[in-house]
């Protein structure tokens, strides 16, 4: 705040000694000291209140930012739940494909009608021996 050095204090002391006198100077010094102490406590209290209020404002700003992102957070959470549900569905589907089902009989591939190689429809039937 104020920059008061040794020479300034000495000058104030000499002026006070001349104005007040040596008899009342110690009482005046105690009174001034008490007033300076009260002023310092008051300034420190005000400073602490201002700092506390500034921190409160900062916290309010942080909370406002978090509330802005709450909607995004909700969307991300909903998407995460949907993905987990889809993952479970896919795992169930894969598991059901891997398990043999007793109710379904495996089908054999169809056998083509056996034709003799001499028949015209057979691929070897078109070859004629010379």
Please indicate, yes or no, if residue 61 is contained in any of the structural domains. yes
Low-confidence residues of the chain, pLDDT below 70?
1-2, 100-130
Please indicate, yes or no, if residue 85 is contained in any of the structural domains. yes
Count the domains in the chain.
Answer: 1
Please indicate, yes or no, if residue 121 is contained in any of the structural domains. no
Q: What is the pLDDT of residues 66-104, one digit of tens each?
A: 887 887 888 889 999 999 999 998 888 888 887 765 555
Amino acid 54: pLDDT: 93
Please indicate, yes or no, if residue 122 is contained in any of the structural domains. no
Please indicate, yes or no, if residue 100 is contained in any of the structural domains. no
Domain with 53, as residue range(s), is 12-94
Amino acid 9: pLDDT: 84
Q: How far apart are CA 61 and CA 59, in angstroms?
A: 5
Q: How far apart are CA 87 and CA 92, in angstroms?
A: 9
Amino acid 130: pLDDT: 45
Please indicate, yes or no, if residue 56 is contained in any of the structural domains. yes
Q: How far apart are CA 58 and CA 63, in angstroms?
A: 9
Q: How far apart are CA 12 and CA 35, in angstroms?
A: 16
Under DSSP, the state recorded for 100 is P
Predicted structure pTM score:
0.43
**What length is written for the chain?**
130
Amino acid 73: pLDDT: 83
């Amino acid at each position: 705040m104020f920059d008061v050095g040794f020479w300034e204090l000495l000058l104030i002391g000499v002026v006070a000694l001349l104005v007040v006198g040596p008899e009342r100077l110690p009482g005046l010094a105690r009174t001034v000291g008490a007033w300076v102490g009260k002023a310092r406590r008051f300034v420190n209290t005000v400073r602490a209140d201002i700092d506390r209020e500034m921190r409160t404002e900062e916290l309010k700003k942080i909370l406002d930012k978090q509330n802005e992102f709450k909607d995004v957070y909700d969307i991300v959470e909903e998407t995460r739940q949907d993905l987990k549900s889809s993952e479970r569905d896919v795992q169930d589907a894969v598991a059901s494909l891997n398990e043999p089902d007793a109710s379904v009989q495996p089908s054999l591939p169809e056998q083509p009608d056996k034709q003799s190689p001499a028949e015209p429809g057979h691929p070897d039937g078109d070859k004629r021996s010379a």
